Structures are given as structure tokens and as C-alpha cells.
């Protein structure tokens, strides 16, 4: 919701909190990667994409975002 209304930092904070307590969720890591990517923090986006792709090497959304970096 926050990302949709342009409050990327608040969205990132919420997703990071979820990630802290549910660290196996690749969907959350992918959302964190997208936020970092949209904020031009490509190194951080790539770090989270690596975590997603380690667990889901064929994740099409993660692979597409990786190609954009």
C-alpha cells in the first residue's frame, strides 16, 4: 500500500520487519528488492535478488528485475 502511494521508505520499513520475523519468504525479499531498485539502490536490490534466486532460481520476476540492473 505504501509503495503504491509513493512512500517507499515506509513500505521498505514494513517489508523489512516482515522479513526479520519470516525470513524464509522470498516474496517479501522480492518486494524489498523492487523498492531498492525503484529508489536507485541497485547494490541493495541485487543483494535481495540473490537471496530470492538462491531459493527460487527460476523465479521469473526476480530474473527480469536482475536483467534490469
Query: With 70 as the cut, is the pLDDT of residue 2 above it?
Result: no
- Give the pLDDT score at 3: 53
DSSP conformational letter for 7:
-
Residue 6 CB-half CA count within 13 A: 0
> Can you spell out the DSSP letters for 10-39?
HHHHHHHHHHHH-TT-HHHHHHHHHHHHHT
Please state, in angstroms and rounded to a whole number, the distance separating the CA atoms of residues 57 and 49: 10
Please state, in angstroms and rounded to a whole number, the distance separating the CA atoms of residues 21 and 18: 5
Q: pTM higher than 0.85, yes or no?
A: yes
Contacts of residue 31, defined as CB under 8 A and 6 or more positions apart, other chains included, come to: 3, 11, 15
Query: With 50 as the cut, is the pLDDT of residue 21 above it?
Result: yes
Amino acid at each position: 500500500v505504501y509503495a503504491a502511494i509513493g512512500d517507499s521508505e515506509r513500505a521498505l520499513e514494513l517489508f523489512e520487519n516482515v522479513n526479520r520475523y519470516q525470513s524464509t519468504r522470498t516474496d517479501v525479499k522480492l518486494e524489498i528488492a523492487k523498492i531498492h531498485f525503484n529508489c536507485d539502490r541497485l547494490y541493495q536490490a541485487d543483494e535481495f535478488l540473490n537471496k530470492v534466486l538462491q531459493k527460487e532460481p527460476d523465479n521469473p520476476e526476480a530474473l527480469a528485475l536482475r536483467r534490469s540492473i
